[in-house]
A and B are shown apart, each in its own frame.
Chain A
Amino acid sequence: MGRPVAIIGVGQTYHGRRMDVSYPELVREAVMAVFKDTGLTPDDIDGVVSGTMPSMMEGIALTHFYFADAMQAVGKPIMKTETCGSTGVSIAQTAYYWVSSGAADLVLAVGHEKMNEGNSQATMTTVAEPFYQRYFISGAPGVFSMQSQMWTARYGIPEEKTRDAAAFISVTHHDDAFDNPYAHIKLKVSMEDVKNSRIITYPVRLLDVCPNSDGACAVIFASEKMVKKLKKKPAWVRGVGYRGEEYFFGDSDKVVWEAAIQAAQQAYDQAGIRNPRKELDVAEVYNPFTFQEMLFYECFGFCELGESPDLVLKGTFTRKGELPCDPSGGTLCTNPIGATGLIRVAEAALQVTGKAGAHQIPGAKLALAHAMGGVDQFNGIMILGSEL
């Protein structure tokens, strides 16, 4: 790793269906929030990193040009990083590497999406080429449902058990979202509601799926020198990991999913983590689908392969459990995709700096943030700690 880097402030919009603001105004809302949080001004910033989903989402290409004003990037170096669902973690890593390299001391990272302005699944289907895969994936839900179905079958987990565990995850995250002022979906649901909700893409049902959200998130990354100078409570970047694999969905195993396993391992090695379930205090796992969240627990070493439904039903990953996962309500309740991975990073930063408010995990010192992208192709991890 290069120079030490810390997050010194975060800003989020109120996520939801935000037809009350234009897209640049939405971006500015998050940028204003991070400047308020840090007391910094645009003049202090050395460079800006931005990212979204494919341009088809809102029908405007190269949105970092469109948002140059809203991000106060005029007169500064600007980069765009785009890796589909993992965009937010990729933006964070780009900003991290920029500061870590010594080429900048303060970098503003901004992720954004306005999913209600276009057609999200039609957009996501364009990630698959139109001569082979596009006919079969049915947007994001189709792919992730096939993966979840394969996972359940691989370990011979009874269908009733995975359905119960998925419903449990849905209920707890929907409850958690009430304590997150920025969350999109605030809905009281029961296990029965989830299990009996309409099938979208079997085994995934309506209440197993994230919403289409509008939202933005802004995070400021700082060098050690600036952390000391500004006297801000830092969330130190303790480890980063990122892995991709082959483009075709059928070319690699998505159950023992190497992209997820290796991304986590790279970050754990840097952070010196050997037993993540014991050592991590909280994790913000990218969970647009309940079933997929369980698969990630296994690939990240939170439990043994095939074991996650048992632990979920025991409450291991709830806010009062051994390793609380997605106390913010997670992606399941809020998914403005280009911002979502960065929201995971921001939430992890809030946790280790004790600023998460009503969904604070008491005493959290070490947190994992994650995002996944493509037709099950990429995974990115960032580990943040209260100590360097």
Chain B
Amino acid sequence: MTKEFRTVKTEIRLPYELAYGETWTRFFDGMQEKKIYGNTCPKCNRVLVPARAFCPRCFVDMDKWVEVSQEGTLIAWSYTNYKYYGMPTEPPFIGALIRLDGTDVNFLHLLGGIDLSNFEEVRKIVKNGMKLKAVWSDDRKAHIMDIKYFKPV
């Protein structure tokens, strides 16, 4: 290509207000009170967390609410070391799948409470199967980030 062709710069900015509904509202009310809520499916008996309005497999309404453990086991993790426009979490961070004790699905959150600046050091500390525990923010807003991260026990 010998000639650079022209381009146009454009942007779309749209505000949204998304409804949580009853189930998510109760879940996030729990977050504000430092509680993690799940609920059980009357058909497959699985404890799902976060709590759901209905079981994604059985398609029936969930019934019993349970406050689940704030401790769990590390199932999978990834150390994020790049950034994109509007990224909601500041890198470096560790995304993690955590099986909270007594539940039947993996909870997605952050693994923290350790020095993340040097990956090689991180690699020595973080091990699949390690026990983790929720660390709460002091400034809770009924939001998923009311849990700052899960730290090694």
Interface residues of A (CB under 8 A from B): 19-20, 56, 59, 119-122, 125, 129-139, 141-142, 145-147, 149-150, 153, 198-204, 246-251
With the chains together, A142 CA to B110 CA distance in Å?
12
Name the A residues within 8 Å of B77 (CB-CB). 146, 149
Task: Determine the residue in chain A with the shortest Cβ distance to B24.
Answer: A131
The secondary structure that dominates the B interface is loop
Mask, B10-46, CB within 8 Å of A = 1, is 1110000010100010001000000000000000000
Q: Is A250 within 8 A of B81, CB to CB?
A: no
Min CB distance B105 to A, Å, is 5
Distance A375 CA – B57 CA, assembled complex (angstroms):
18
Whether the Cβ atoms of B144 and A149 lie closer than 8 Å is: no
Is A138 a contact partner of B108 (Cβ separation < 8 A)? no
Report yes or no: A119 in contact with B85, Cβ–Cβ below 8 A. Answer: yes
> Which interface residue of B10, B11, B88, B105 has the most chain A CB atoms within 10 A?
B88
How far apart sit A202 and B93, CA to CA, in the bound complex (Å)? Answer: 11
Given contacts A136-B96, A136-B110, A142-B80, 6 further A-B contacts (CB under 8 A): A20-B5, A135-B89, A138-B89, A202-B81, A247-B56, A251-B106
Q: What is the minimal beta-carbon distance from A14 to any residue of chain B, in angstroms?
A: 11
Question: Are A132 and B7 in contact (CB-based, < 8 A)?
Answer: no
Q: List 24 A-B contacts (CB under 8 A).
A: A19-B5, A19-B7, A122-B87, A131-B144, A135-B110, A135-B145, A136-B89, A136-B96, A136-B108, A138-B78, A138-B87, A141-B78, A146-B95, A153-B76, A199-B79, A199-B119, A202-B81, A246-B56, A246-B57, A248-B56, A248-B105, A250-B106, A250-B107, A251-B48
**In the complex, chain B residues 52-101 whose Cβ is within 8 Å of any chain A Cβ:** 56-57, 75-82, 84-89, 91, 93, 95-97
Given the interface contacts A147-B76, A201-B80, does A59 sit within 8 Å of B97 by beta carbon? no
- Residues of B in contact (CB 8 Å), total 47
| Interface residue B109 (Cβ < 8 Å from any Cβ of A) | yes
Given contacts A130-B18, A131-B20, A250-B107, contact A146 B97 (CB under 8 A): yes
Q: How far is the CB of B19 from chain A (nearest CB, A)?
A: 10
Report which of B57, B78, B143 forms a contact with A201, defined as CB distance below 8 A.
B78
**Contact A135 B88, CB 8 Å, known A147-B76, A246-B56:** yes
Known contacts A131-B144, A135-B144; is A150 also within 8 Å of B109 by CB? no
Q: Are B108 and A133 in contact (CB under 8 A)?
A: yes
What's the minimum C-beta distance from B38 to chain A, rounded to whole angstroms? 12
- Tell me if B76 and A150 are in contact (CB < 8 A): yes
CB of B104, distance to nearest CB on chain A (Å): 9
Q: Flag if A145 contacts B144 (CB, 8 Å).
A: no
Q: How far is the CA of A201 from the CA of B105 in the complex (A)?
A: 23
In the complex, what residue of chain A is closest to B49 when comparing beta carbons?
Answer: A250
With A131-B18, A131-B24, A131-B144 given, is the CB distance from A136 to B84 under 8 Å? no
B107 touches A122 (CB 8 A): no
Residues of A contacting B144 with CB < 8 Å?
Answer: 131-132, 135
B152 at the interface (CB under 8 A from A): no
Closest approach, in angstroms, between the C-beta of A121 and any C-beta of chain B? 4
B78 and A122 contacting across the interface, CB-CB below 8 Å: no
Considering the complex, give the chain B residue whose CB is closest to the CB of A245: B56
Are A249 and B97 in contact (CB-based, < 8 A)? Answer: yes
The docked-state distance in angstroms from the alpha carbon of A139 to that of B83 is 9
Q: Which residue of A lies closest to B57 (CB)?
A: A246
Which among A122, A150, A251 is the interface contact of B86 at CB below 8 angstroms? A122
Contact A121 B84 (CB under 8 A): yes
Per the bound structure, the CA–CA distance linking A247 and B108 in Å amounts to 13
